Amino acid sequence: MLTPGQKAPDFTLFNTDRQEVSLTDFQGKNVVILFFPMAFTSTCTAELCEMRDNISTYADLNADIVGISVDSPFTLAKFKEEQRLPFNLLSDFNKEVSQAYDTYYETFVLNLKGVSKRSAFVIDQNGLVQYAEVLESAGDVPNFTAVQETLASLN
C-alpha cells in the first residue's frame, strides 16, 4: 500500500474527452485522486457529487480533483455529463493504475473481475503521496475532512 512520503506512481489515462491526462500534468499543484468502483452506482454518485458541491473548497486549497475508475471513457462521459462534474474522470479500463496504487478488487460484487476500490489520495506539488485511504467496503466514502486537513497543511 502507498504511504505518505512515497513517490506517487505516474500514469497517463484518457479522460471523457478522449484526451490523455498524466499525473505529471499536475506538477506544481496538489491533486486529490479518487478511485471509485463504478459510475452510476449510488455511493459513487454521492461521493463525486460531494466533491462537485465543494469544488471551491478544493480550489481554495490549491487542489485539482481527478476521479478514476475502470469504466470506459464513454461511460464516464455520460456519468460526468449527467452529474455535472467539473473535474476530470479518467478511464483505467486496463486496470493498470488501480493496481499500481494498490486499490483493486480482484473480484467485486456480482463476480465482476478487476474493479477499483474506493480510495482517496492526496498528491502534493512534487508528486509525493501525502494522504492515502483505501477502503475495503465499497459502501464507505473517504474521510473528506482528513483530505481537506492534509491539503490545508500543504499550503
The residues annotated as belonging to the active site are 44
Alpha carbon distance 118, 20 (integer Å): 22
Alpha carbon distance 22, 12 (integer Å): 4
Alpha carbon distance 122, 47 (integer Å): 16
Is 58 within 8 Å of 24 (Cβ atoms)? no
